[in-house]
Structure 1
Amino acid sequence: MRVLIVGAGSAGLTCAWRLAREPSTEVVLIDAGVDPGPDVPSFLLRDMVLPPPFYWDYAEFDRGYFLPRGKLFGGTSAVNATAAVRGHPWCYDAWGSPSWRWERCLPSFRAIEADMQFGAEPYHGHAGPVPITRCELGGFDHALGDAYVRRGLARIADHNAPGHLGFGPFPTNRIGDDRASTLRTLLPELRGRPNVTLRPQTEAVRVVMAHGEARGVLVRTAQGDEQLLEADRVVLSGGTFGSPEMLFASGIGPADGLRTAGLPVHVDAPEVGANLVDHPYVQMGIEVSDPAKPAAPPGKGALLTFELDGPGHLQAHAFAYRTRAVDPSADPCSAAVTCALLTPESRGRLELGTGRARVRLNHLSSDVDARRMAEIVARVADVVADLASEGALRLPADPWWHADDLPAACRREVVTYHHPVGTCRMGSDTASVVDEALRVRGVERLMVADASVMPSLPRGQTNLGAMMIGHRAAEFLLEAPPP
């Protein structure tokens, strides 16, 4: 079986890694970005802000801010902050599919991870390729932790233990100070396998179909030449923005929108690009008083998780990070205390446009979401105020979070937590873009395997979830090879 995977990010590299272990399976992995080679430059392993060529050119259409998606082997796992909270069992049970309940996803989570502290626990893995660890807390995190404990919040050691809520170190996929991205952890093994072909700087143009089947992908090389790469199976792993864009280009999407854009209509699939959901996120800018106890860099500090009142495990994240990690010009004492709503109701969409598709995240468009975000901010702001009164931090002259209309202020301040999902929704209903085995409805031999298939968000980062989906996609392919 020859499998062509479009996109060498978290899901695509994990899918290739699992498939390549079967010698009878030929894997061709293409990506429009570069392959940095076996000796990955240190800036690709450590820097939070990379040069523009390492990102896709996406921006939030209505508000204009940049949406960093990695354009290189390793994808966004090679440019992120390495936070690795995978969510709780009820996150996956909520997808409504017996095939994707927590107990069916857990074996793939365990297969990809090597948890350095809790690998012996039944809900963790100890021998996978991706190390998960927790950094020792220090500096400003201790002051935050003490303030949380005074409010009755628990100290916890493992945010990935099912059901655990409280304050404790971020799980993070790191090797020392380096990102343990799929570029660093999975690609080296693929380089040595005779049944794997790596094609960097190879941009997918469209899926080529005949008689209702995907036969391969038309690609454009770095030299501008177009080639047809044939395959028995095509797996799109371009991410929440890239995979629906590829379906649009291939004539799979809302029929009226495709015709307006001058594209053929092979499958009228109205939900392609719909159901876009992302964690909304706001930041309180502060200054830490003691330069010897600064906030930690992103992904290396502590995380608070807690639930709001109401049904359905409504959940929030709060943490502090050192601003200089993302803005080198910032004062060393500058920090951001951040708040995120992990269970939003608001939905956006990805729309056909000229060049890149239009990304409309639509954060806090629901009044319920705006009120919930305001509740999260108010609770965390009380802690910030206490620490300011104790002299642990300094507030700005007119904090935005002191606004009389806090929901409206949250709507003005909201940005992305960088966890978009849902634009190729998986489900058992015929309106879903892919079925429960990740097969694109209306086209044989074509799958989507990345965070775009998630029907709803997990209560955590999406990187490990995308790897889990890539691993399960490979299992589906190996269970049902082409005739």
Structure 2
Amino acid sequence: MRTVIVGAGSAGLMCAWKLSEDPGHEVVLVDAGTDPGPEVPGELRTEILLPPHYYWPYADEATGAFLPRGKVFGGSSAVNAAAAVRGHPWCYDAWGSDLWSYEACLPAFRAIEADRQFGHDDHHGADGPIAITRYEQSAFDLAFQDTYRRHGHDPVPDHNAPGALGFGPFPTNHVDGVRMSTLVAVLPRIRARAHVRLLPDSEVLRVLVSGGAACGVVLRDARGEHLVEADQVILSAGTFGTPEILFQSGIGPADALRAAWIPVVTDAPQLGTNLSDHVLFQMNVEVTDASELPMPGGRGTLLTYELPGENHPQAQMFAYHAPFFDPTAAPDTAAVAAALVTPESRGRLTLGRGRAKVRLGHLSDPLDRVRAADIVTRAADLVDDLAAQGRVKLPDSPWWRGEDLSEACRAQALTYHHPVGTCRMSRDGDGVVDEYLRVRGVEGLSVADASVMPTVPRAHTNLAAMMIGYRAATFAAR
């Protein structure tokens, strides 16, 4: 059996690791990005602002905002802030499948992690490849915790405990100074396996389908275009990349395929729709004591709480040292971030020849605008509390104190870099893939990445993508 996995990111490398546990199963792992080799460069181990060649050139068509997706072995896990939050049981139960309930996903979550504080708890793992820890908090973050407490929130030691809400240290896979990406933590475990073949710098152009079944991929590398044959193909190219490959393979909305002069293999009208992303708002303030700065992104204090409404609408808040993401920020700047992590709004990919056009659609739903204004108002109250303590100084005319906060939120909305859903999974025939992640209408072709999520979890999506890759391998091995 030969399986070609397209995409060596969070899901793809985890899928390859699990699938290649069987020495009789040949795995070919293909990625358009580079394989840095056994000695991972320091910048890919520790830095958050990386050279352009490590990213795909996606941008939001509506705003022009850069949408960084990792173009390197390890994918976005090799370029992100390494926040390691899973989400709640109701995140996965809402996907509408017993096969993807929280209880069904939990064994995979446990298998991929080595939690340094809670690894021996029933809902955690201690022996997986992805190390997770929580840091002692800075003086600024401790002051922020006191402010959270005064505003009615409770402390939680473990944000990955089922149903945990409140404030506590960010779980992170940035451990001992190193980002524990799948590049660093998983690839070394499979690199020496003789039945695993790595094909870096190889962009997959399309899946080859014959007689209604996938039989390989056509890729382009330094030698030109050529075919890699396969018994089955798993696409793990991400929320933007996987729909592009499916479309170029003749799988997508039939009318759009015909308009692009691509022969229709199977009509998949949902492809590229249902794009969902967390929306983030940022309030920059001056820290009055430069010796007491917040921690870098993903390592300080995280607050989670529920908003009024049905189905557990939720927000996040945290502060971080602003130059961590923005080198133009003054060194004494703290960024107070607030996020709506249960968006109703949906965007889409417009697919055709070449790169997809991305529209995230942030705050296009009126309910999201109401909730965004509520979240920003609460965050502003916290910032005012810190200012009253003398810990921070507000800018002149802060955007979050304008008369029309709803419109201000629309203007200030940022991506939280957690896009999902463009190849939605469903039990019925309405999704691009079924519960086993098989592409409808094509045998031997599956998708394993964040694009299959029907809704975005109330958490950073990196661990969830790894979980999907791990589970996809168990399906593919059957």
TM-score, length basis structure 2? 0.99
Alignment map for 1:345-384 (pairs within 5 Å)? 345-384=344-383
2:123 is equivalent to residue 123 of structure 1 = yes
Q: SS of the residue aligned with 2:305?
A: strand
Kept after mapping to 1: 8 A contact 2:30/2:202: yes
The corresponding residue for 2:308 is: 309
Which stretch shows the higher mean deviation, 232-241 or 133-142? 133-142
Distance, in Å, in 1 between the alignment partners of 2:222 and 2:330 is 41
User: What CA deviation, in whole Å up to 9, does each residue of 1:79-120 have, x standing for no partner?
Assistant: 000001110000000000010011110000000000000001
Q: Name the counterpart of 1:89.
A: 89
Match for residue 271 of structure 2? Answer: 272
Deviating more after overlay: 110-119 vs 138-147: 138-147
Contact conserved, 1:113 with 1:132, CA < 8 A, in 2?
Answer: yes
Alpha-carbon distance, 1:427 to partner: 0.5
2:161 counterpart residue number:
161
The alpha carbon displacement at 1:353 in A equals 4.4
For residues 31-79 of structure 1, give each alpha carbon's deviation from its aligned partner in whole angstroms, at most 9, with x where no partner exists. Answer: 0000001111111111111000000010001110100000000000000
TM-score by length of structure 1 reads: 0.98
SS at match of 1:309: coil
Q: Counterpart of 1:420?
A: 419
Q: Which residue of 1 aligns with 2:341?
A: 342
Partners of 1:33 and 1:151 lie apart in 2 by 46
Q: How does 1:49-60 map to 2 (within 5 A)?
A: 49-60=49-60
How far apart are 1:174 and its partner, in Å?
2.1
What amino acid sits opposite 2:98 in the alignment?
Answer: P
Matches within 5 A, 1:403-418: 403-418=402-417
Alpha-carbon displacement from aligned partner over 1:109-136 (angstroms, at most 9, x marks no partner): 0000000000011000000010010111
What is the CA distance between 1:354 and its match in structure 2? 5.0
Q: Which amino acid aligns with 1:84?
A: A
Residue ranges of structure 2 left out of the alignment (5+ in a row): none
Q: Within the alignment, does 1:249 sit opposite 2:241 as a pair?
A: no
Unaligned runs of 5+ in 1: none
What secondary structure does 1:172 align onto? coil
- Tell me how far apart the structure 1 counterparts of residues 56 and 69 of structure 2 sit (CA, whole Å): 6
Equivalent position SS for 2:56: coil
Equivalent position of 1:435 in the other structure? 434
Aligned Cα root-mean-square deviation (Å): 0.8
How many Å apart are 1:469 and its aligned residue? Answer: 0.3
Distance 2:222 2:47 in 1: 26
Matched, 1:28 2:28: yes
Per-residue deviation at 1:363? Answer: 0.2
The CA distance in 2 between the partners of 1:87 and 1:308, in whole Å, is 16
Say how many residue pairs are matched: 478
1:328 to partner: Cα distance: 2.4
> CA–CA distance in 2 between the matches of 1:428 and 1:300?
37
Q: Do 1:139 and 1:292's aligned partners in 2 also have CA atoms closer than 8 Å?
A: no
The Cα of 1:264 is off from its aligned counterpart by 1.6
Is the CA contact (8 Å cut-off) linking 1:113 and 1:124 kept in structure 2?
yes
Corresponding position of 1:385: 384
Question: Residue deviations 1:120-163, cap 9 Å, x none?
Answer: 11000000010010111113111111111112211111000001
Residue of structure 2 in register with 1:7 after alignment: 7
Post-superposition Cα deviations, 1:315-356, rounded to whole Å, max 9, x if no partner, equal 000011111112223221112101110111000001114531
What's 1:147 paired with?
Answer: 147
Answer whether contact 2:58 2:358 (CA < 8 A) is retained.
Answer: yes
| SS in structure 2 of the partner of residue 134 of structure 1 | coil
- Within 5 Å, give how 1:126-205 maps onto structure 2: 126-205=126-205
1:444 maps to which residue?
A: 443
User: Which letter does structure 2 place at the counterpart of 1:209?
Assistant: V
Aligned mates of 1:329, 1:90 — CA distance in 2: 39
Deviations 1:252-274 (A, max 9, x none): 00111111122221111100000
Structure 2 contact 275–346 (Cα < 8 Å) conserved: yes
2:99 alignment partner in structure 1: 99
Query: Secondary structure of the residue that 1:193 maps to in structure 2?
Result: coil
Q: Render the CA deviation track for 1:244-289: whole Å, top value 9, x for unaligned.
A: 0100110100111111122221111100000000001110111111
* Paired residue secondary structure (1:285): strand
Aligned to 1:42: 42
* Correspondence 1:463-482 to 2 at 5 A: 463-479=462-478
Any runs of at least 4 consecutive aligned residues in structure 1 with deviations exceeding 3 A, and if so which?
none
Tell me which amino acid in the other structure corresponds to 1:58.
Answer: Y
d(CA) in 2 for partners of 1:371, 1:215: 49
| Alignment deviations for residues 151-193 of structure 1 (CA, whole Å, 9 cap, x no partner) | 2211111000001111111000123111000000000011110
Secondary structure, in 3 states, of the residue corresponding to 1:340? strand
Q: Deviations over 1:206-243 (max 9, x none)?
A: 000111000000011134x1110011110000000000
User: Which segment is superposed worse, 75-84 or 133-142?
Assistant: 133-142
Q: Is the 8 A contact 2:248 2:353 kept in 1?
A: no
Distance 2:2 2:266 in 1: 24
- Counterpart of 2:286 in structure 1 is 287
Q: Distance in 1 between matches of 2:176 and 2:222?
A: 34
d(CA) in 2 for partners of 1:363 and 1:328? 25
Q: Give the superposition deviation at 1:405.
A: 1.3
Q: Do structure 1's residue 218 and structure 2's residue 218 form an aligned pair?
A: yes
Partner of 2:79 in structure 1?
79
1:165 aligned partner, one-letter code: L
- Counterpart of 1:141 in structure 2: which amino acid? D
8 Å CA contact 1:294–1:332 kept in 2: the answer is: no
Deviation at 1:310, TM superposition (A): 1.4
What is the distance in 2 between the residues matched to 1:431 and 1:326? 39
Report the identity percentage: 60
Look up the SS of the partner of 1:82 in the other structure. coil
**Greater displacement, 129-138 / 354-363:** 354-363
Partner of 2:229: 230
Contact 1:139–1:296 (Cα < 8 Å) also in 2: no
Partner SS for 1:319: strand
Q: Which amino acid aligns with 2:152?
A: G
